[in-house]
Amino acid sequence: MTLRQTLEQAIEDLKKEVAKMADFALYNLREGLNAFKTTNFELARQVMKADDEVDRFEEEIAKMALKIIWKEQPVASDLRLVTGILKLITDLERIGDHASDIAEMTLHLEDNRNQRVLPLTSKMAEIVEEMVLKSIQALVRVDESLAETIIQTDDSVDQLFQDVISYVTAELKKETIDPNEAIYVLMVAKYFERVGDHAVNIAEWIIFIAKGKHKNTMLF
């Protein structure tokens, strides 16, 4: 017989809820980029509104985690999982915020746009989405080696962000991009770069969940 079925069930439910939250945030991120790419104001507004749901998830998960702490007084791997989740939902919530921010940038843009910078931003978005997706998988499986790969991927995101800056700067010098558009394109790229950082933070909390270590510091 497995003992502590209540605790095991509560932890399963908690993990499922975090996965749902992450799916939701990821969906918003994709739709936010879609809205930006296609200058779809309606979609942009929907994404911005959907962020409330991500915030509700954060509160709900925090409640579930706190309840496990006071009712079950978890130790060892259970304690690391519950506290790690309490920390990483902050990053998930921020990813949701940035999805909303990206959607909001759409509202500042005109229809006729410089199409040359979009592929770079899309490439960034693609890598960042993959990082977020992997972070969900790594959490569900408590897979520290997958978490490590997420951390390593971040360098390429940072590089792409630098490329976007160089590209936009060059376009500005040639006066082939509207300065207003340049600002929003750069902001969108910056938001994706930040989402990459949050995926890295999540990966670091997954390594904590696996080993009790956060960025090479034992937290216990």
Partner 1 sequence: MTAQNPIVFQIENLNLFYGEKQALKEISIAIYEKEVTALIGPSGCGKSTFLRVLNRMNDLIDSCHITGNVTYHDQDIYQPKTDVNGLRKSVGMVFQKPNPFPMSILDNLIYGPKCQGIRDRFLLKQIVEQSLKQAALWDEVKDRLKESALALSGGQQQRLCIARTIAMKPEVILMDEPTSALDPVATAKIEDLISSLKQDYTIIIVTHNMQQAARISDKTAFFLMGELIEYGDANQLFSTPENKKTEEYITGRFG
Site for partner 1 in 80-119 (CB under 8 A): 80
The answer to the question of residue 3 lying near partner 1 (CB under 8 A) is yes
Q: Binding to partner 1 by residue 4, rule CB under 8 A?
A: yes
Q: CB under 8 A: which stretch of 45-53, 76-84, 109-117, 143-151 binds partner 1?
A: 76-84
Would you put residue 159 in left (φ > 0), alpha (ψ -120 to 50) or beta? alpha
Number of residues forming the site for partner 1 (CB under 8 A): 17
Looking at the chain, how many residues does it have? 220
Q: Which long-range contacts (CB under 8 A, 24 or more apart) does 4-12 make?
A: 4/72, 6/72, 7/68, 7/72, 7/74, 7/78, 10/64, 10/67, 10/68, 10/71, 10/72, 11/68, 11/78, 11/81, 11/82
Q: By CB under 8 A, which span of 18-26, 50-58, 77-85, 190-198 interacts with partner 1? A: 77-85
Only segment of 2-10, 26-34, 55-63, 133-141 that touches partner 1 (CB under 8 A): 2-10
Q: Tell me if 217 contacts partner 1 by CB under 8 A.
A: no
> Element (H or E) spanning 217, and its range?
strand 217-218
Q: Is 204 in the site for partner 1 (CB under 8 A)?
A: no
Binding residues for partner 1, rule: CB under 8 A, are 2-4, 7, 73-80, 211-212, 218-220
